[in-house]
Structure 1
Amino acid sequence: MEEIKSIDRDRLRGWVSDRSDFVLVDIRDSEDYKEMHIPGAKNIGLESKDFLGEISKLASDKKTTVVIYCYAGNSSPKVAEKLVKVGYEDVYDFSGGMDDWEDAGYPVEKNGQMIYR
């Protein structure tokens, strides 16, 4: 079975800036996502009744690189593990989460607009 990989904020920022070919999934609740999220992230909140179905719409090929993040890294490892168990081969956990991204002062999307700090 594949292992979950960890990605730090600097490497993730590079991927986001380069528009690398990967799916970035924000598992926080939809209200927090709308308020602010990492640019390019798609929201599938943990409360979703069909989480795996929603993921498969974003990444139908299980070889797709998927990065999962939450608030501060408490929930994302469990979700990443679940994806590996159902056959995803290239899963990363951004363990710092939105808190770490914000602390670094990296750009965020807020209400559909890019905010650079």
Structure 2
Amino acid sequence: MKSAHDLVVEAKQTVQEISVDQAIQAIQTCDVLIDVRETEEYLAGHLPGAVHMSRGMLEFKMASNPAMQPRDLKIVLYCKTSGRAALSACSLAGMGYSHIQSISGGIDAWMAAGHEVFKPAQPTFE
């Protein structure tokens, strides 16, 4: 029986992972930057310009959004460390998307490299 780690290792063998440095250029030229983390993670801070589609809802959100229908969209994915993004990339490839990249190391590597993270203002109730 395969573990979650086994599935991620297999996914990373077929996914185009890019470094944080390569991600800067890829983000500038992609059609959509997708954060596949959970809602709480996204709200705590995300890459500027990223849209949120959690790993569990990704396929459904892609299928139901007409703007996401073209299978030649240039897609960049990320999560916390890159496991969920790799699994997401495999799933999207299975749906016929052909230009998918995953940021190696995820948002953790992005922040470790000193790059900007957008943190939405939290409401106050005072």
CA distance in 2, matches of 1:106, 1:15: 15
How far did residue 54 of structure 1 move?
1.0
How far did residue 8 of structure 1 move?
1.1
- Larger strand proportion of the pair: 1
- CA deviations 1:49-77 (Å, max 9, x no partner) are xx213124252211001111110012211
4+ runs of 1 displaced by more than 3 Å? none
Provide the TM-score with structure 2 as the length reference: 0.76
- Larger helix proportion of the pair: 2
- 3-state SS, counterpart of residue 118 of structure 2: strand
How far did residue 21 of structure 1 move?
3.5
Provide the TM-score with structure 1 as the length reference: 0.81
CA distance in 1, matches of 2:31, 2:105: 18
* Alignment gaps of 5+ in structure 1: 113-117
* Alignment gaps of 5+ in structure 2: 1-13, 122-126
Contact 1:4 1:90 in 2 (8 A): no
How far did residue 95 of structure 1 move?
2.0
The count of aligned residue pairs is 106
CA distance in 2, matches of 1:5, 1:52: 19
Question: Which of 30, 37, 46 does residue 39 from structure 2 map onto?
Answer: 30
Aligned to 1:54: 61
Instruction: Say whether residues 1:9 and 2:20 are aligned partners.
Output: yes
Farther off after superposition, 80-89 or 55-64: 55-64
- 3-state SS, counterpart of residue 109 of structure 1: coil
Larger radius of gyration: 2
